Chain A
Amino acid sequence: MKVLLSTTVNGEQVQEAVLPRTSLADFLREDLGLTGTHLGCEMGACGACLVLMDGVPVHACLVLAVQAEGSTIETIEGLNETGAAADLQAHFHDRNALQCGFCTNGMLMSAQALLEANPVPTRDEIRDALSGNYCRCTGYEAIVDAIDTTARDRAARTEAAK
């Protein structure tokens, strides 16, 4: 039996009837067509499905859609539109920090959350923060570089603004 779900996704009010067993990932991908959220393991190990739920990265494969009742969800599509991570995306592009692109959504989510919490992380801290994000293509170094560069750029801009 479907239940009514009210939530905010990428700034838009959403009201949909969902089956209680539907995962947030399936809801976003199939009901809302937000296919930028990917599924790689469906057990919270690979990080491809990370979305921001009330500002915190969560595995959309481990959260039920009904748990998002009253929450604010932001997916890669939303993050892209707000431009909040435009510099991070640009550094990923410049450093070629992605190949097949399947992990990229989750990498951006983890990186954005890391830089909120720790604006100038060390390389080891960046590597630690990505410990739940699997990438088969890049070997990670380019991703670490892109986040590192973004952090230093943001810090420099903050400093300049003072």
Chain B
Amino acid sequence: MTLHIGQSQRRENARRHLAGRGRFVSDLALPRMLHAVFVRSPMAKGRLVEIDTSEAEQSPGVVRILTAAELNARCKPWVGTLDHFAGMQSPPMSILAEEEVLWTGQPVAMIIAKSRAEAEDAADLVMVDIEDSEPVTDGAAALQDGAPLANSGARDNLCYEALLETPAVNEAFADAAHVVEASFTFGRHTAVTLEPRAVIADFDPSSGALTVHHGTQTPYQFQDVYARHFGLPEGKVRVIAPDVGGSFGMKLHVYNEEMGAVAASMILERPVRYVADRLESFLSDIHARDHIVKGRMALDAEGKILAMDVDDLAPVGAVSAYPRTSAAEGNQVIRLMGAPYNMPDYRGRLQVAFQNKVQTSQYRAVGHPIACAVTEALVERAAEVTGLDPFEIRARNLIADDAYPHVSATGYQFEKLSHQASLAKLREMMDPDALRADQARLREQGIYRGFGIASFVEITNPGAAFYGVGGARISAQDGAVVRMTPSGDIHCAISVTEQGQGTETIIAQVVADQLGVSPERVSVTTGDTATTPSGGATWACRGAGIGGETALRAGRKLRERILTLAGALLQADPATLRLEDGAVVDVATGEARITLEEIGRVATYRPDTLPDGVDHSLTVAHHFAPSGYPFDFTNGIQGSLVEVDVETGIVRILKHWVVEDCGRIINPLLVDEQIRGGVVQGLGPAFFEECQYDADGQLTNGSLADYLVPMACEMPDIEIAHIETPTEDTILGAKGVGEAGTAAAGAAAMNAVNDALRPFGARLTQTPMTPLRILDALDAARKQRTDP
């Protein structure tokens, strides 16, 4: 029979969206629903003197104006630290600013009105008197002695610091034949999901139950957060995430506004809706990256990497995000450095600083693009000083495919990766000799093309090692309930969630194969804490690897149950039976003995006809937590071809290549589209995306007219190939793929731009690589040449 794992099954749930029948939180309207708008601090730092709501209260449609005294009292403050980040500090955060405002856009009052428009009208009438003070905006300045505090609740502006060091790192640099070094600046950018954050909190005082319709990727985490912070029994809290218009890590953090909607619903005893507009998204969604990294790499005379030494400074806003912290990205940056390579020694230092901007935290490919860009830019410089070709220097240094298991200098354990095979495959796809010939020919015509490559590893399938060990109540396992309906159809309720990546489709494929049915007969429910078992949902690439394994094991449990029942009905040994094409089949003859439909009928309507003691319950549950390696790493390599107009600084991205190894591929179509989307999310911040702030801590590009996202006309076609190295930690063998595209796209693009600019001696070390920055680099190189 045909196996469905490995097939490009189309997404059934995509049909609804194509028909205009998506159901997003922002589409939902509940009876007696009220609308919330927040009055926000226009200043980055200051003392809140007075909030005058008198005029606003008279505004038509206003039901209530809530200020800190009333709202904050409802909600236990949250603190964004984790125990395994030793020494980390972050002051507690409440829904509304009380005495001090900490970033531009921090909510200071909440207007509840009958419509969003009326709430906005009233918000215009609230006068907020803030005595402003000098904000802390620059990360390095924040850590200088005597710097003013970004947050008066903190000891100092150092949120967290860490040092990783092997004993021989200094000797490695001292003995090196070559040392290359550079400083890099990675701009702040943000998720810009097309559907903004949306929540409807609905507290019913008659039952004490809170239902939150929440555009989130992690409903179970929010069930726990709402229960604990609002003092409700967990069983009284239900979180429903229907269709979610993009999340990418941004929609799993605790935000003031969502907590405010819950508190307001409890106070007003009516449903309260908050949907961010685009400006509010820019001012309050977590931002990401914002790292300044100084890096060095030591090499021997043959171009073999001996060591790296990096120093990462990450300003993260005025508080650390909750519950995953704002230190996790920096932590991952220093741990992923040099990861694809044989690198015996290493030193990585991280400083996470407070500043008066909105918080940064986890966003797609957390830390990966930074570590990858620094490592790969240094490898590129190493290639220059050693006279090696970019492919050759990587071939000499990438971990050999037969040298696993391998432990990196930063302590990561790799089960089995395929860097060398990936490199060889990429070389075949890109044909670098032909590209070099084109490059030389075009340079003579004044056309400057360049290509660059970048190897990467991706962290997927995390167990408790990420957050659980740090005390965070973030599920390290997932759960599934699989049942057969009376008609012999299959239903799977599972804790991993769907934001369009195709989770429900791959779960249906996996379950279908365990039960010998077509995926069309398997319906999947996700995203509702009342109807699915508890689990981690969507974060850090776990849907296929952990969710898929959960579904597989649950499906097999149900298979055993069905076969036992069939054995009783057929008076046959269950070991002689299997499931195929919707029926129980005799293994020896291949003959269909009884259909699933008939088993369902008997088990449901005529259990009295079954022999005594036969379990006719056709519902099973299974929970799965990864064991073995703490993470299942994946690997790959990307290539980028660009053309730089040296007169205007404008870059055309001509082509992008990816070779990726995510282990067992459940659905090739969906895997490739995850990679393509990820690549574009990596190219965006490499060339366009940046949250720009002025010296006063004001965000100066808070709209889609000023904040540039990648659009269709600027993006290239992306060619993808795969190596398949399944993990042996699970039966399924699947790993994650969600971060892969984003991890290395920017690094490959930076190497490509610098390859194009090589004849001028110009070099980019800052993202986004805007036309202005490219022209500046060309100018600087010109000055260097004429005035050395």
Contact = CB atoms under 8 A, between A and B. Distances in A.
Direct contact of A and B (CB under 8 A): yes
Nearest to A45: B704
Interface stretch (B133-141, B432-440, B471-479, B677-685): B677-685
Nearest to A21: B117
A99 B500 contact: yes
10 closest Cβ pairs, A-B complex: A36-B20, A101-B17, A99-B500, A76-B20, A102-B245, A100-B500, A139-B680, A139-B676, A35-B27, A45-B704
Contacts of B741: 139
Interface stretch (B187-195, B457-465, B586-594): B187-195
A93 B194 contact: no
B715 interface: yes
A137 B500 contact: yes
A105 interface: yes
Contacts of B244: 100
Interface string A28-63: 011000111111111101101000000000000000
A92 B10 CA distance: 10
Nearest to A88: B18
Interface string B384-398: 000000000000000
A147 to B, nearest CB: 10
12 contacts: A37-B20, A41-B704, A43-B278, A45-B704, A96-B502, A98-B14, A98-B18, A100-B499, A131-B713, A136-B246, A136-B681, A142-B673
Contacts of B27: 29, 35
Contact of A42 (B194, B245, B278): B278
Interface string B691-719: 00000000000011100010111010110
A104 B17 contact: yes
A130 to B, nearest CB: 4
B69 interface: no
Give the bracket for the number of chain B residues in contact with chain A. Answer: 35 or more
Given A100-B246, A135-B194, A75 B278 contact: no
B222 to A, nearest CB: 19
A43 B712 contact: no
A77 interface: yes
A154 interface: no
Given A40-B195, A101-B500, A137 B677 contact: yes
A46 to B, nearest CB: 6
B117 A137 contact: no
B243 interface: yes
A98 B686 CA distance: 24
Contact of A98 (B17, B277, B712): B17
B761 interface: no
Contacts of B248: 136
A131 B712 contact: yes
B95 interface: no
Interface in A78-133: 79-80, 89, 92-94, 96, 98-105, 108, 123-124, 126-128, 130-133
Contact of B670 (A46, A96, A131): A96
B246 A138 contact: no
A69 interface: no
A140 B26 CA distance: 24
Contacts of B301: none
A99 B19 contact: no
Contacts of A46: 194, 704
Interface string B223-246: 000000000000000000001111
Contacts of A151: none
A139 B278 contact: no
